Amino acid sequence: MGGYMDSTTNTYPKDLEALLGFLPDLSPNDRSIIERAYYRAETAHETQKRKSGEPYFIHCVAVASILAELRLDAEVIAAGLLHDVVEDTPTTTEELRAEFGTTIAKLVDGVTKLTNLPKDQNGLKSDSNRQAKTAESFRKMLLTMDDDVRVVIVKLADRLHNMRTLGYMPQHKQKRTAQETLDIFAPLANRLGIWQIKWELEDLSFRYLQPDAYRGIAKSLDERRASREEYVKTVAEVLRTELAKYDITTAQISARPKHIYSIYKKMKRKDLPLDQIYDVRALRVIVDEDPHCYVVLGIVHRLWRPIQGEFDDYIAAPKDNFYRSLHTAVMDKQGKTLEVQIRTRKMHEDAEYGIAAHWRYKEGRGSGKKDKGFEERVAYLRRLMNFNPDKDEEDATTFMSQVREEVFEDRVYAFTPQGDIIDLPVGATPVDFAYWIHTEIGHRCRGARIHGKLVPLNHRLKTGDQVEIMTSKRGGPSMDWLNQDLGYVKTSRARSKIRHWFRQQNRDEHITMGRSALERELKRLGVLDKLSYDAITHLMGYEKLEDLLAAIGAGDVNGSGITQKILEDERRKREEAKTELEKFKPRVRQNMVSDASQGVHIMGTGGLLVNMARCCSPTAGDDIIGYVTRGYGVTVHRVDCVNVHAISDTERLVEVSWGSVSEEHTYIVPIEVLAQDREGLLRDISTVIADEKINITMVEVVTRQQIATLYISLELRNNHQLLLVLDKIECIASVHEARRVNPG
């Protein structure tokens, strides 16, 4: 090992010959660069082995071959061969610079610095040091992309070969690596437009993360391959004959490759079985000129009936990664569905190779020459990095949230009334839209219209929505926008701006606003008179009540966080009481009787009926107590019920607790809704309740001076479900307040 080309036979090693075979038009100088890199890496890794037992150098050649298949330039392929020599051998960057020049040394150094990318995002620990390190890895990756995107392309090729050989790793490492690949590397390849790498990374990750689902789809596709290929061949011939009538004779018509993970996602998203997924049978048509794409589209729609809602024009409105193509789905006379993609050769090259197409090897073109498409892509990457939260907000969590939203999440494309495209993550709302346009528009946002129709501010935008933001002349954001349960804000950008606005207000105003928000949340929870402010202050980890109120007013603490803390504290107290009871009163546990119909345990009694008190309507999660009623068994009240406090014969009170409450247990809970009276109010409230799959047992409406008070009894499983539906009712237009009716 370690020798150069055999001068007597004028032959190369087989793997080097195969590598060079991808680039038959290499110049002598470029061929020399790749040859020298090959033998340098072979010598450096001579004694190293992979987990499979194979020579480590095989991995280096495989990475370079992936880059060569993309027809990247000689410098990138050389960097692929050498990408691990600095990290895994005594070779230094300076030595590479002296031997191969600055560019290749810089590429290898960049790949080396990307070795510690963040792990599975869903499993990140809360430790601040870990988050800071992860955020720094993100920053490093983005800065490297801005400096020379080829570094990330080499890293993607490295990850692709590691995924191809992942079977030699332990199972827990397989899943961890696959999840990391699906969370970071596949979306990154998609953002860079490198479809060839993107789809294979997704399929390989899916194979290890959900092997049963992967095998099921793969087996089904394989079983139908013969009939599918015959069908596609037939329709391709029909289409080719029709195109010839319009002098489109050079079109390439072929079956489109099937990607298992994309089929799986479509099955889940549309809740359809495999045989109803359109792109299982798929055709790709590649033509010479842009106008031909639309001619072909018209012919396809004339030959077969187009399926409504399944047409996308990514030529007129390209995706954010600059992907351009026409997509349509049609149905033939036998009812079989077929997906058709139509694009030009240039569009196809961009779709398959993305930003890597700029460096595809072409004789006479230097890598330093910049084309318009390349500049647009680099500008896009820079735009992703330009946003920084306000300096006092720029922590690891905020930064990582921003990067995940901008780089890794699926997108929606909405329009301003002037026709400008606004690119936002899926789930974004009109509030996010407003803050994207301008911070002040976000602050003064009071309403929104989509296609001229009023929508709530927590409405989820869809691609194609034309959004008009309605603003006030003065004022600021609402505290409720920071409550994640209410769904007003999706993006870290908007959330950061809102928090910064509240932080800039006077502390006295914060305290006043915080007190109002806290009272409203406690009232909604039904514990306003039960918990002291001092107890809540301690529970939330603050020393002074004013500090807590100021934090609430500034947006650092929101209502859902307070609610969660109170519920967690109540659960903890119940568990502690249960532990103490088991420790000091073992006999009581022997006398515990469960009433399965109501989901409660009754201490020290047996054979009694259990009824839920109508005066306070307890539901699972409330603190409760029992009262023995002659002839009626045990009536269960909330502990804070006024009727319980009025009982003089306290010996008839018995200890009760919630048992194993199943989905079958439901409890009648009355709520009160205060709203501006309008047409359709009751319908809108009923729809929200029905959407939560909650049954209404009683409704009473009282209207005075255009103010409607609705008394509604709901059939609920627990108090968490109650809080959720109250939050959603308060989001309805003209509703001022929704709360649980307090006992008595």
**pLDDT tops 80 at residue 400:** no
pLDDT band at 448 (very low <50, low <70, confident <90, very high): very high
Query: Which residues, 6+ apart, have CB-to-CB distance to 49 below 8 Å?
Result: 55, 56
Q: What dihedral do alpha carbons 288, 291, 294, 298 form, nearest 10°?
A: -90
The Cα–Cα gap between 646 and 381 comes to 68
pLDDT band at 115 (very low <50, low <70, confident <90, very high): low
The Cα–Cα gap between 119 and 24 comes to 39
Residue 575 CA: distances (Å) to CA of 585, 659, 716, 720:
15, 12, 23, 18
Q: Which of 46, 87, 376, 529 does the annotation list as catalytic?
A: 87
pLDDT band at 128 (very low <50, low <70, confident <90, very high): very low
The lowest-confidence range among 201-205, 216-220, 225-229, 270-274 is 270-274
Query: Which of 142-151, 206-215, 595-604 has the highest mean predicted lDDT (pLDDT)?
Result: 206-215
pLDDT at 202: 92
pLDDT band at 553 (very low <50, low <70, confident <90, very high): confident
**In a 3-state reduction of DSSP, which class is residue 291?**
helix
* Residue of 469 and 15 predicted with greater confidence: 469
Q: What dihedral do alpha carbons 31, 37, 40, 41 form, nearest 10°?
A: -130
Amino acid at 281: R
Instruction: Tell me the mean pLDDT in the region 298-318.
Output: 88
Q: Long-range contacts of range 323-328, CB-CB < 8 Å, 24 or more positions apart?
A: 323/193, 323/195, 323/350, 323/351, 324/350, 324/351, 325/351, 326/293, 326/294, 326/296, 326/297, 328/297, 328/300, 328/301
Q: Are 135 and 127 in contact (CB under 8 A)?
A: no
Residue 150, Cα to own-chain centre: how many angstroms? 27
Q: Are 727 and 735 in contact (CB under 8 A)?
A: no
pLDDT at 267: 78
pLDDT at 401: 55
Instruction: State pLDDT tens for residues 517-545.
Output: 888 777 766 665 666 777 888 888 788 88
Instruction: State pLDDT tens for residues 39-83.
Output: 999 999 988 888 888 899 999 999 999 999 888 889 999 999 999
pLDDT at 224: 74
- Tokens in use for 506? 């006077």
Task: Considering the domain delimited by 667-740, tell me its CATH architecture.
Answer: 2-Layer Sandwich (3.30)
**pLDDT tops 90 at residue 38:** yes
Angle at 702 between CA 700 and CA 704, to 5 degrees: 170
Pick the CATH number of 410-503 from 3.40.50.720, 3.40.50.150, 3.90.1150.10, 3.10.20.30: 3.10.20.30
- Tokens in use for 689? 């309740």
pLDDT at 469: 93
Residue 461 DSSP class: P
Query: Which residues, 6+ apart, have CB-to-CB distance to 590 below 8 Å?
Result: none
pLDDT band at 279 (very low <50, low <70, confident <90, very high): low
Determine which helix (DSSP H) or strand (DSSP E) holds 657, and give its type and residue range: strand 656-658
- Do 14-211 and 218-359 come out as alike in CATH topology? no
Work out whether the CA dihedral 405, 456, 462, 423 comes out positive or negative: negative
pLDDT band at 243 (very low <50, low <70, confident <90, very high): very high
Q: Alpha-carbon Rg of the chain, whole angstroms?
A: 32
- Tokens in use for 456? 């709530």
Pick the CATH number of 14-211 from 1.20.1440.230, 1.20.950.20, 1.10.3210.10, 1.10.150.120: 1.10.3210.10
pLDDT at 278: 52
pLDDT at 430: 95
Q: Is 242 a catalytic residue?
A: no
pLDDT at 743: 57
Query: Which residues, 6+ apart, have CB-to-CB distance to 333 below 8 Å?
Result: none
pLDDT at 298: 93
The Cα–Cα gap between 297 and 316 comes to 14
Q: Which of 15, 88, 99, 320 does the annotation list as catalytic?
A: 88
* Residue of 507 and 23 predicted with greater confidence: 23
pLDDT band at 500 (very low <50, low <70, confident <90, very high): confident
Query: Which of 356-370, 379-393, 413-427, 445-459 has the highest mean predicted lDDT (pLDDT)?
Result: 445-459
Amino acid at 106: K
**How would you list the strands of the sheet with 633-638, edge to edge?**
610-612, 633-638, 624-629, 653-654
**Prediction pTM value:** 0.52
**In a 3-state reduction of DSSP, which class is residue 138?**
helix
**pLDDT tops 90 at residue 117:** no
Instruction: Tell me the mean pLDDT in the region 172-200.
Output: 83
**In a 3-state reduction of DSSP, which class is residue 407?**
helix
25 burial class (0-12, 13-18, 19+ CB within 10 angstroms)?
exposed
Instruction: Tell me the mean pLDDT in the region 664-693.
Output: 85
* Residue of 396 and 482 predicted with greater confidence: 482
- Tokens in use for 437? 């346009």
Q: Is 87 a catalytic residue?
A: yes
Q: Are 255 and 282 in contact (CB under 8 A)?
A: yes
Task: Considering the domain delimited by 218-359, tell me its CATH architecture.
Answer: 2-Layer Sandwich (3.30)
The Cα–Cα gap between 473 and 649 comes to 61
State percent of the chain over pLDDT 70.
Answer: 76
**pLDDT tops 70 at residue 575:** no
The lowest-confidence range among 1-10, 105-114, 219-228, 679-688 is 1-10
Residue 658 CA: distances (Å) to CA of 595, 623, 718:
10, 9, 11
Query: Which of 255-259, 404-408, 447-451, 537-541 has the highest mean predicted lDDT (pLDDT)?
Result: 447-451
- Tokens in use for 206? 């899916």
pLDDT at 389: 39
Q: Quote the mean pLDDT of the chain.
A: 77
**pLDDT tops 80 at residue 684:** yes
State percent of the chain over pLDDT 90.
Answer: 18
Instruction: State pLDDT tens for residues 487-496.
Output: 899 888 888 8
Q: With helix as H, strand as E and coil as C, how does 329-340 read?
A: EEECCCCCEEEE
* Residue of 388 and 665 predicted with greater confidence: 665
pLDDT at 606: 54
Bridge partners of 255, per DSSP, are: 283
pLDDT at 380: 58
Bridge partners of 698, per DSSP, are: 713
249 burial class (0-12, 13-18, 19+ CB within 10 angstroms)?
exposed
**Of 714, 646, 720, 642, the residue nearest 685 (C-alpha):** 714
Instruction: State pLDDT tens for residues 620-632.
Output: 777 788 888 777 7
**Of 274, 250, 388, the residue nearest 337 (C-alpha):** 274
* Residue of 222 and 186 predicted with greater confidence: 186
Indicate the domain borders of the chain.
14-211, 218-359, 410-503, 505-570, 585-658, 667-740
pLDDT at 571: 67
Between strands 337-344 and 282-287, the pairing is: parallel
pLDDT band at 186 (very low <50, low <70, confident <90, very high): confident
**pLDDT tops 60 at residue 119:** no
pLDDT at 429: 94
Residue 169 CA: distances (Å) to CA of 129, 215, 613:
28, 20, 60
End-to-end CA distance of the chain: 89
